[in-house]
Copies of this chain bind each other. A is one copy, B any other.
């Protein structure tokens, strides 16, 4: 593992930022290494010193981004798991969930990874595992705890977590994916979809 100098590490960040921009805008094939180097204010020599070729750059980018996905639900999850008002608890969980995922950057990455999943299936796997694969168990654990406390009625916590995600995200996520624009959902619509999703989840999973 070659230790990078501070300067080299900085350049590397610049290159990855530029690569993110280029790949998001034009896809893997459409993005050019010249464009990346120019946007990064760096020479191609420097790019190719850090990354063997275009494919290595792309892989490094996806891995770096998916690593950066910190789990913002760990805290809200722990907190909500001990709440007493189940309606309010699920609602807060849903707000945090939707707020964290229906973001321009997350949705753009989602589209990019999907678009290249046929070319780089292992990267799709990787991104899935480090992204959703990390927040979903947290969500599931939270729901399981609420079930143990007698507030929800759940057979399979992972399925329940997926159902909550599907109820909340199916509509707005599809819109962004197909319409190609983040503003496919107005904030009011997003709030509405979240609300009716929460209601459906509670109707299905709330302890009677």
Contacts and interface: CB of A to CB of B under 8 A. Distances in A.
A201 interface: yes
Contacts of A174: 128, 132
B170 A200 contact: no
Interface string A127-138: 110001000000
Contact of A170 (B114, B115, B170, B177): B170
A167 interface: yes
A166 interface: yes
A63 interface: no
Nearest to A122: B180
Interface residues of A, number: 44
Contacts of A114: 111, 114-115, 177-178
A8 interface: no
Interface centre among A125, A162, A200 (most CB of B within 10 A): A200
Interface centre among A26, A155, A177 (most CB of B within 10 A): A177
A15 interface: no
A76 interface: no
Given A124-B179, A125-B178, A166-B166, A115 B115 contact: yes
Given A170-B170, A196-B156, A203-B203, A124 B178 contact: yes
Interface in A146-201: 155-156, 159, 162-163, 165-167, 169-171, 174, 177-181, 196-197, 200-201
Contact of A163 (B119, B125, B156, B197): B197
A144 to B, nearest CB: 16
Contacts of A111: 114-115, 117-118
A30 interface: yes
Q: Which A-B residue pairs are the 6 nearest by beta carbons?
A: A166-B170, A115-B115, A117-B180, A204-B204, A166-B166, A121-B180
